[in-house]
């Protein structure tokens, strides 16, 4: 992301977070949603084996370890295969990426003239989508280009000259490439906007409208979001045509996440209270959120000095550093990852046992986003907030 867009991004993000009222996390503990009540199991109508997709794609799905479609995959994939515009509403961690990649790869394999643009709010989410693309497209000879900030735009321009069928990127970098004539959006006949609510929170609505204006009018449009508010509806009006709406969104506070608070009466002992938690055996894989990049960096340095296997991602880290640290956390080379809200958007990491809000979130929405990093894929998780 250029210096100009980065500054605008930070200003827009700050304004967005100030707009939302704060909340009291202790109320979530008093009515703790972690219960032993078992939800009714979703019965999928489709299976990956009977979907109208190619055999090589079915093989890649099997190798990926997918046995049955999640609710969003079960309901969205057939609609995309029929060429319909789709609005998908679902919580984070429900398999949305596979829900659009699987049918779109199938359609491109059948018709190599089709081109797909996928827009995501953050570099990390775009990289995650690219990694999923690699897994599902193995052996299909379908290529993609990743267009994000933090890395050379010239290398991305060179990749785009190869005319890949899939372009995956963030709004700021895609806009830069369009303005520098490195990317011609009029050739794309399928477009995906992923995590739209986050893009709007980050102040990208102007960029999205700008990019949409270049797209072919005769296109298939897929729109994924956790929420549909007035701003989102306004964007939808100029984006989709006669869409099918699929909503599998559960309650915001998932039943498999336990909520707790740690009361801090003496700020000088706050780090000691965190230390006492982290040495417990059950804190196997921990994600800690702080409000500022300087704060999380100081806290990370302190934890490392105390002997914890920790590292940190924030806005002052380069893209390559952030990816390297995330990979270490994913493969359990580090036990504790610290992050700011901006740096952590779009993280999809398996088996995070605890999310710790070392600095309280500024809003209910931020809290929901943070705790969504644990309790994924129906596994239990714990969210702890210092107050």
The pLDDT assigned to 377 comes to 61
Q: Residue 101 in contact with residue 166, Cβ under 8 Å? A: no
Q: Are residues 84 and 227 in the same domain?
A: yes
The pLDDT assigned to 255 comes to 64
Q: Are residues 112 and 220 in the same domain?
A: yes
Domain count, the chain: 2
Last residue of a domain, one of 247, 275, 307: 247
The pLDDT assigned to 44 comes to 84
The pLDDT assigned to 144 comes to 97
The residue assigned the tokens 């009029």 is: 186
Residues 223, 99: Cα–Cα separation, whole Å: 12
The pLDDT assigned to 362 comes to 77
Whether 109 is in a domain gets the answer yes
The pLDDT assigned to 36 comes to 41
Q: Are residues 265 and 194 in the same domain?
A: no
Q: Which residues contact 310 (CB under 8 A, 6 or more apart)?
A: 300, 303, 304, 334, 335, 336, 337, 338
The pLDDT assigned to 311 comes to 95
Q: Give the pLDDT confidence of 200-217 residue by residue, as tens digits.
A: 877 888 999 999 999 988
Tell me the residue range of the domain where 310 lies. 13-33+252-386
Last residue of a domain, one of 213, 247, 281: 247
Q: Give the pLDDT confidence of 128-155 residue by residue, as tens digits.
A: 999 999 999 999 999 999 999 988 999 9
Nearest to 348 by CA among 116, 120, 136: 120
Whether 5 is in a domain gets the answer no
The pLDDT assigned to 33 comes to 46
All residue ranges of the chain with pLDDT < 70 are: 1-40, 92, 249-255, 342-346, 365, 375-378
Whether 106 is in a domain gets the answer yes
Last residue of a domain, one of 218, 247, 276: 247
Give pTM, 2 decimals.
0.72
Residues 107, 82: Cα–Cα separation, whole Å: 10
Q: Residue 366 in contact with residue 241, Cβ under 8 Å? A: no
Residues 220, 377: Cα–Cα separation, whole Å: 29
């Amino acid at each position: 992301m250029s210096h100009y867009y980065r500054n605008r991004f930070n200003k827009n993000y700050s304004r967005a977070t100030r707009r939302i009222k704060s909340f009291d996390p202790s109320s979530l503990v008093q009515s703790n949603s972690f219960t032993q009540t078992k939800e009714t199991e979703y019965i999928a109508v489709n299976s990956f084996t009977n979907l109208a997709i190619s055999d090589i794609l079915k093989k890649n799905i099997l190798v990926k370890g997918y046995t049955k479609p999640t609710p969003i995959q079960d309901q969205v994939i057939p609609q995309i295969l029929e060429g319909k515009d789709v609005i998908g509403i679902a919580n984070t961690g429900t398999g949305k990426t596979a829900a659009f990649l699987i049918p779109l790869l199938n359609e491109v394999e059948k018709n190599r003239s089709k081109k797909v643009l996928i827009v995501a709010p953050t570099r990390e989410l775009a990289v995650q989508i690219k990694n999923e693309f690699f897994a599902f497209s193995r052996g299909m000879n379908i290529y993609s280009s990743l267009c994000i900030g933090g890395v050379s735009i010239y290398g991305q321009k060179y990749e785009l000259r190869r005319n890949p069928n899939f372009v995956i990127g963030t709004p700021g970098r895609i806009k830069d490439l369009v303005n520098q004539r490195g990317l011609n959006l009029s050739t794309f006949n399928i477009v995906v906007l992923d995590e739209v609510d986050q893009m709007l929170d980050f102040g990208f609505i102007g960029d999205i409208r700008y990019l949409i204006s270049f797209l072919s009018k005769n296109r298939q449009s897929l729109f994924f979001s956790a929420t549909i508010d007035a701003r989102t509806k306004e964007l939808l009006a100029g984006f989709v045509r006669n869409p099918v709406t699929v909503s599998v969104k559960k309650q915001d506070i998932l039943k498999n996440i336990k909520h707790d608070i740690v009361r801090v009466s003496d700020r000088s002992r706050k780090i000691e209270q965190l230390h006492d938690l982290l040495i417990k055996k059950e804190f196997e894989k921990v994600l800690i959120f702080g409000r500022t990049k300087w704060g999380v960096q100081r806290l990370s340095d302190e934890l490392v000095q105390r002997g914890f296997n920790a590292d940190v991602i924030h806005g002052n880290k380069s893209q390559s550093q952030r990816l390297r640290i995330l990979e270490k956390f994913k493969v359990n080379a580090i036990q504790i990852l610290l992050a700011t809200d901006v740096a952590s958007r779009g993280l999809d990491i398996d088996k995070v046992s605890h999310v710790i809000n070392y600095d309280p979130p500024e809003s209910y929405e931020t809290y929901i986003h943070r705790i969504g990093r644990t309790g994924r894929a129906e596994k239990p998780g714990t969210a702890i907030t210092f107050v």
